[in-house]
């Protein structure tokens, strides 16, 4: 094999490794619509305890916080809660807490 073929083969092998990585395969994205009319998308990744939110045209990363029941993610005035029963609430931009449903 010449140098060019080795480079192409190496690039293809690297691309295949990235595409087949467990982190790529183990992600979850969900769309929500809330009672107050707001909408957001949230992404969860297997090896990341944070919630990655797309809200009001902005990308936010919310670290997981301590919660008595379920999960709570909070940063920069935004709080996302998901109870063990699956009820999701959102509080942001000095608005009241609102219930959200997955679409």
Residue 15 lies in a domain: no
Residue 1 lies in a domain: no
Residue 10 lies in a domain: no
Per-residue pLDDT of 21-57, as tens digits, reads 454 547 899 999 999 999 999 999 999 999 999 998 9
* Domain count across the chain: 1
Residue 12 lies in a domain: no
* Residue 23, pLDDT score: 47
- Cβ–Cβ < 8 Å for 23, 46: yes
What is the CATH classification number for the domain harbouring 41? 2.40.128.200
Mean pLDDT of the chain: 82
Is the predicted pLDDT of residue 75 greater than 90, yes or no? yes
| φ, ψ for residue 98, nearest 5 deg | -130, 145
* Residue 12, pLDDT score: 40
* Residue 93, pLDDT score: 87
- Helix, strand, coil percentages, rounded to 5, for the chain: 20, 50, 30
Residue 49 lies in a domain: yes
Residue 62 lies in a domain: yes
Domain limits at 46?
26-102
């Amino acid at each position: 094999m010449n140098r060019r073929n080795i480079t192409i083969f190496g690039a293809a092998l690297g691309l295949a490794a990235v595409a087949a990585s467990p982190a790529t395969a183990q992600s979850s994205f969900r769309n929500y619509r809330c009672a107050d009319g707001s909408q957001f998308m949230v992404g969860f990744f297997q090896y990341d305890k944070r919630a990655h939110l797309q809200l009001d045209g902005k990308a936010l990363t919310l670290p997981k916080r301590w919660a008595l029941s379920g999960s709570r993610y909070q940063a920069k005035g935004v709080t996302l809660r998901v109870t063990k029963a699956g009820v999701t609430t959102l509080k942001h931009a000095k608005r009241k807490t609102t219930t959200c449903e997955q679409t």
